[in-house]
Amino acid sequence: MPVSVSVPFVDLRAQYAQIREEIDDQVREVLDGAAFVHGPQVESFEEAFAAFVGVRHAIGVANGTDALLLALKALGVGPGDEVITAANTFIATAEAIIHAGARPVFVDIDPRTYTLEVAHVERVITPSTKAVIPVHLYGQPADLAPILAVTGPRGIAVIEDAAQAHGAVYRKRRVGSWGQAACFSFYPGKNLGAYGDAGAIVTDDEGIAVAVQRLRDHGSVEKYRHDRLGYNSRLDTLQAAVLRVKLPYLEEWNRRRQERAGWYDALFRGVPDIITPAVADWGSHVYHLYVIRLEQGSRDGLRVYLARNGIQTGIHYPTPLPDVDVLAPYVQNRGEFPVATACARTILSLPMYPELARAQVEYVVEQVAAYLAARE
Ligand SMILES: *Cc1c(COP(=O)(O)O)cnc(C)c1O
């Protein structure tokens, strides 16, 4: 295939093209109504999203990072508390813990699923542990049942970070319906993405729902009556309208991601030294990212080679969080994350989105194989 064939990492324009009329209609309705904050589309999306996840409440907020922060605040997490999370995740998970005033306690990941290693969780629990944030990384649910078995009896909350796993199923129920609360991001590139920043907290707990509704709006009980200090972290009406249009397509888009992952898996079977993503038997994988691992050879060399051949890739993430400089002052247990450290050096995220063409997937695998064959 010629070098001019370009495979972008994601293609948000291709998706908009499919739903342009519906989106434009709904956006126009918001513009005509001019209720840009607290418009009726917000509640409409919240109801639809809660039903989709299978919980009683969804509360829209400004972004996924705020969703985590407000969930922690609603649960009363603050100074002196510890919150356990995975060593390999986006920095937002740790930022939210620190901004809540608590300390992140990292645990290593499972090399098969890249999610938090459950066996380590129990080992780092102390009397100060207030919550655990399992991250459903790359679109695969973390193993929630054993985490809940350890935390439940001790009164430790579980907050799912589902920012990469909209619609993924864990043991017959969707992620987001397992913890005391769960947090979603609708950043444009996520499986369900807005046209700007947006996020949500979902929960079955009425108390958490009410607390988050107030926290996102300056701690307001009603206009100009505040029961605590809060934030300005509301979900924009425009973003809610976009999300309401897109939500019914999410399952089909996830199915198409799974189909493309199947193409990659099958084509890579003939390529030595490449480890394709494993799907744990406890649930489904919705492939927010399709992440391979190189058994030998240079991941960075491969990345440069693919870029030269018109293929965009990513690394999620290049540095385990305990080794990120700005987090160092908050980390107690540095240097005990051999799996996360090894993965950070060898993982590579390949192009993945619902509109990716079969020929593009074939071209990516061909180029990976060509690089590996030419190595020696
Ligand atoms: C995207 C993401 C977030 C943060 O969401 P924003 O909407 O970008 O603030 C948090 N956690 C994980 C795992 C993410 O991928």
If you average pLDDT over residues 272-292, what whole number do you get?
97
Helices of type H across 284-357: 299-308, 338-346
Angstrom distance (rounded) from CA 195 to CA 365? 31
Q: Name the band, by pLDDT with cuts 50, 70 and 90, for residue 140.
A: very high
pLDDT tens digits, 199-208: 999 999 999 9
Using a pLDDT cut of 90, give the percent of the chain over it.
93
pLDDT at 182: 98
Atom of ligand 1 nearest to the CA of 137: 13
Q: Is the pLDDT of residue 43 over 80?
A: yes
Nearest CA to ligand 1 atom 6: 64
Atom of ligand 1 nearest to the CA of 135: 13
**Cα 198 to ligand 1 centroid, rounded to whole Å:** 10
Q: Name the band, by pLDDT with cuts 50, 70 and 90, for residue 270.
A: confident
Cβ of 50 less than 6 Å from ligand 1 = no
Cβ of 161 less than 6 Å from ligand 1 = yes
Q: Is the pLDDT of residue 376 over 60?
A: no
Angstrom distance (rounded) from CA 65 to CA 179? 17
**Cα 69 to ligand 1 centroid, rounded to whole Å:** 11
pLDDT tens digits, 4-24: 558 999 999 999 999 999 999
**Cα 22 to ligand 1 centroid, rounded to whole Å:** 27
Question: Cβ distance 351 to 303 under 8 Å?
Answer: no
**Cα 162 to ligand 1 centroid, rounded to whole Å:** 9
Instruction: Tell me the pTM.
Output: 0.97
Work out the widest C-alpha separation in the chain, in whole angstroms: 70
Q: Is the pLDDT of residue 223 over 70?
A: yes
Mutate to test the pocket of ligand 1, among 65, 135, 349 (most ligand atoms within 8 A of CB): 65
Helices of type H across the chain: 12-33, 40-53, 64-74, 91-99, 118-124, 144-151, 206-215, 237-246, 250-268, 299-308, 338-346, 358-374
Atom of ligand 1 nearest to the CA of 197: 7
Q: Name the band, by pLDDT with cuts 50, 70 and 90, for residue 295.
A: confident
Cβ of 104 less than 6 Å from ligand 1 = no
Using a pLDDT cut of 70, give the percent of the chain over it.
98
pLDDT tens digits, 296-339: 889 999 999 999 999 999 999 999 999 999 999 998 776 689 99
pLDDT at 6: 86
Q: Is the pLDDT of residue 2 over 50?
A: no
**Cα 191 to ligand 1 centroid, rounded to whole Å:** 12
**Cα 92 to ligand 1 centroid, rounded to whole Å:** 6
Angstrom distance (rounded) from CA 342 to CA 331? 19
pLDDT at 4: 54
Q: What angle do CA 139, 144, 146 make, to 5 degrees?
A: 145
If you average pLDDT over residues 232-257, what whole number do you get?
98
Q: Is the pLDDT of residue 151 over 90?
A: yes
Tell me the CA distances in angstroms from 20 to 12, 26, 153, one per residue in order: 12, 10, 49
Q: Which long-range contacts (CB under 8 A, 24 or more apart) does 151-157 make?
A: 151/121, 154/125, 154/129, 156/125, 156/129, 156/130, 156/131, 156/132, 157/75, 157/77, 157/130, 157/131, 157/132, 157/181
User: Looking at 50-54, 124-128, 332-336, which range is the least confident one?
Assistant: 332-336
If you average pLDDT over residues 146-172, what whole number do you get?
97
Q: Is the pLDDT of residue 246 over 50?
A: yes
Q: Name the band, by pLDDT with cuts 50, 70 and 90, for residue 1.
A: very low
Spatial strand order of the sheet with 274-275 comes to 274-275, 290-294, 347-350
Of residues 212 and 3, more confidently modeled: 212
**Cα 296 to ligand 1 centroid, rounded to whole Å:** 30
Atom of ligand 1 nearest to the CA of 63: 7
If you average pLDDT over residues 236-242, what whole number do you get?
98
Cβ of 45 less than 6 Å from ligand 1 = no
Q: Which tokens in the block code for residue 50?
A: 């809660």
Name the residue among 105, 102, 100 with its Cα closest to residue 116.
105
If you average pLDDT over residues 102-116, what whole number do you get?
96
pLDDT at 66: 98
pLDDT at 101: 97
